[in-house]
Amino acid sequence: MARHATLASSGDSILVLVDPQEKLVRMIHNREEVEKNIETLLSFASIFSLPVVLTEHYPKGLGYTVENIKERLPEYRPVVKRIFSCFGVPEFQEALQATGRGRLLMSGIETHICVEQTVLDALHRNYTVTVMADAVGTRFPKDHEIALDRMRQAGAVITTTEAVMYEIAERAEGDEFKRLLDLVK
């Protein structure tokens, strides 16, 4: 069945986790929601066999990926960076290219800095980008709102964690769907 181009699918999507690090996470105004949704997305990625790419921004100063997220990763191999856009690091671009997929499902911290710059650079490189608004966060709500608006205007799809999971599931049947229901209950 032909579907709208903005709908994500399991065959074309990569989950990108931007900098969910100790010192950053604790400053986020909607911390609990963002962490919970990233954890849910990681469980979902496992069910639907989505590749996961993790970044850490200057871990020596900002700490490492928070433990509750790290323990849900299929493997802990962060792309370490000191530049805000993940595309400034060749290892990030290589990790994406190795998947052969073209849609980035964006989550992480901070919405208006590393997430936004990565999204804009991804769009510039002809990736399709979906940002889960409830799985990205900032210290200040206004920065979050403006960054989401800017990314939407640039061509990113802005949605929620639950919405993107149902897009990828596509149908209410089978073992994968039953496991999805356990995540959203």
Q: What are the distances in angstroms from CA 14 to CA 9, 58, 174?
A: 10, 23, 22
Return all residues near 178 (Cβ < 8 A) that are at least 6 apart: none
Distance in angstroms (rounded) separating the CA atoms of residues 30 and 96: 28
Active-site entry in 23, 70, 114, 182: 114
Distance in angstroms (rounded) separating the CA atoms of residues 134 and 4: 22
Active-site entry in 19, 86, 121, 134: 19
Catalytic status, residue 60: no
DSSP designation for 125? T
Pair 129, 12: CB distance under 8 Å = no
Catalytic status, residue 86: no
Helices assigned H by DSSP within 48-115:
59-62, 67-70, 90-99
Catalytic status, residue 12: no
Return all residues near 110 (Cβ < 8 A) that are at least 6 apart: 19, 24, 28, 136, 137, 138, 139, 143
Active-site entry in 12, 23, 70, 81: 81
Which amino acid type is present at position 172?
A
* Active site positions, annotated: 19, 81, 114
